[in-house]
Structure 1
Amino acid sequence: MAYWLFKTEPDAFSIDDLHQAPEQSTFWEGIRNYQARNFLRDDVKVGDQVFIYHSSCKVPAVVGIATVTKGAEVDPHQFDLSSDYYDAKSSQDNPRWVGVTLRYEQHLTRPVTLKAIKADAAITELALKKAGRLSIMPVTETEWAHICQLGGAQ
């Protein structure tokens, strides 16, 4: 099992939306960065644990945990002209983008803010602390446990 951090803008899709989704599950679509796509396609596996991180908001923070329940599949939104995630360069024969299915596990009791992450000397490897632009990033097992503790995960 591996550990990941997935960013989302809470006004577009939040941890609450995942919690309220049918079967508390959703297809994680719209990834349009090649490095993040490669993580989804090549490395993210069923059973992996995911931090849900709210970005582009007043207080960016890790707010909850999900589990990958389905591995990489073609993101159908890349073919939908009405979608914000439409990609004219992608085709059914040669799709460029994938997504995975996540199931809600829990909200953190205490959101772990970006400010707290950046100030924490125990967190050294997380890309969010270094150059936080990537929407999907690996998390080490040690840092996963530490952030879970900070956030009061059950």
Structure 2
Amino acid sequence: MAYWLFKTEPDTFSIDTLRTQKVSCWDGVRNYQARNMLRDEVKIGDLVLIYHSSCKNVGVVGIARVVREAYPDHFAFDPESDGFDPKSSPDNPRWVMVDIEFVRKTERLISLAVLKAMPELSELPLVKRGNRLSVMPVSESEWQAILTKEAWPK
């Protein structure tokens, strides 16, 4: 099992949306490095930190589990979709998505400021300057360090 952090803008898709839907596709990734991780490395059973970005209160807000490995992101084929890519087609898909299920919501946000202040996270791409990837690996020790900052619901 591996650990990941997936960024999302809560106005588009939030942890509460995932909690309501229970299972959802993780679509819209349009960065090749993030796509390659989704396609080649993210596996069923992997755990994911859900991170709200581009909002007033950025940070880790919950946990999800991968329940379906990479498959073509069909939104890339739809001209009406925000994720449309005219260079992607069902015969030659450029983008992929995975399905995740809600595991739990954190009782409080674990803010970016808190994460940046943790020396044990100094190598986590999220806390490094200029990193904008929406999908990134988290080591087991980083995962455990992050969990120490949250009182998980019973």
State the TM-score, normalized to the length of structure 1: 0.96
Of the three residues 112, 115, 124, the one matched with 1:114 is 112
The number of residue pairs the alignment matches comes to 152
Name the aligned partner's letter for residue 69 of structure 2.
Answer: G
Kindly indicate whether residue 142 of structure 2 is the aligned counterpart of residue 146 of structure 1: no
2:15 paired residue number: 15
Kindly indicate whether residue 88 of structure 2 is the aligned counterpart of residue 84 of structure 1: no
For the 8 Å contact 2:67–2:101, the answer to whether it is kept is yes
Give the aligned CA root-mean-square deviation in angstroms. Answer: 0.9
The percent of aligned pairs where both chains have the same amino acid is: 53
Shift of 1:110: 2.3
Name the aligned partner's letter for residue 3 of structure 1.
Answer: Y
For the 8 Å contact 1:61–1:112, the answer to whether it is kept is yes
In structure 2, the gaps of 5 or more residues are none
Runs of 4+ in 1 over 6 A off after TM superposition: none
For the 8 Å contact 1:18–1:104, the answer to whether it is kept is yes
Render the CA deviation track for 1:20-67: whole Å, top value 9, x for unaligned: 01xx00011100000000000000000000000000001110000000
State the TM-score, normalized to the length of structure 2: 0.96
Q: How does 1:44-55 map to 2 (within 5 A)?
A: 44-55=42-53
Q: What SS does the aligned partner of 1:150 have?
A: coil
For the 8 Å contact 2:74–2:90, the answer to whether it is kept is no
Q: For residues 149 and 83 of structure 1, what CA distance do their matches in structure 2 show?
A: 39
For the 8 Å contact 1:4–1:51, the answer to whether it is kept is yes
Shift of 1:146: 1.2
For the 8 Å contact 1:125–1:140, the answer to whether it is kept is no
1:67 paired residue number: 65
Name the aligned partner's letter for residue 66 of structure 1.
Answer: A
For the 8 Å contact 1:110–1:150, the answer to whether it is kept is no
1:34 paired residue number: 32
Shift of 1:132: 3.0
In structure 1, the gaps of 5 or more residues are none
1:128 paired residue number: 126
